[in-house]
């Protein structure tokens, strides 16, 4: 099983980035894929998730209206489009896969994790 994030980088406040999470080694449609982030000195926070079986999506309160999660079944990839970025969005962003549930509230449901990609938003 492998989850590989990409697309992080440095962007000015108000800008946009699109993160990708390429999945392999499991049946993509059977899993929920979540995005989490961890800023220095802070606990990891749930950002968004998508249930691949039906496309249901969920967002954390801090990103609602600014971030959009989507998937591409042909590529076994989940995307996180991040718009109107703020300095407080700066963090390492991780994607994770859960066989049981799609949730941004409890990371213990997730079975597999990627290595993370750094997002830095300058003011």
The CA dihedral of 62, 18, 78, 114, to the nearest 10 degrees, is: -80
29-64 burial: b if 16+ Cβ within 10 Å, else e: eebbbbbbbeeeeeeebbbbbbbbeeeeebbbeebe
Determine contact, residues 74/30, Cβ cutoff 8 Å.
no
Residue found under tokens 């079944």:
73
How does pLDDT run across 16-74, given as a tens digit for each residue?
999 999 999 999 999 999 999 999 999 999 999 999 989 999 999 999 999 999 999 99
How does pLDDT run across 56-70, given as a tens digit for each residue?
999 999 999 999 999
CB atoms within 10 A of CB 119: 22
């Amino acid at each position: 099983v492998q989850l590989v994030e990409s697309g992080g980088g440095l962007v000015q406040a108000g800008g946009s980035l699109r993160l990708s999470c390429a999945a392999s080694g499991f049946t993509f449609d059977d899993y929920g894929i979540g995005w989490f982030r961890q800023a220095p000195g802070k606990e990891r926070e749930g950002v968004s998730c998508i249930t691949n079986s039906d496309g249901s999506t969920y967002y954390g309160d801090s990103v609602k209206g600014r971030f959009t999660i989507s998937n591409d079944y042909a590529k076994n990839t989940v995307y996180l489009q991040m718009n109107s970025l703020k300095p407080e969005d700066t963090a390492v962003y991780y994607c994770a896969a859960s066989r049981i549930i799609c949730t941004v509230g409890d990371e213990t449901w997730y079975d597999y994790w990627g290595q993370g990609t750094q997002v830095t938003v300058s003011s």
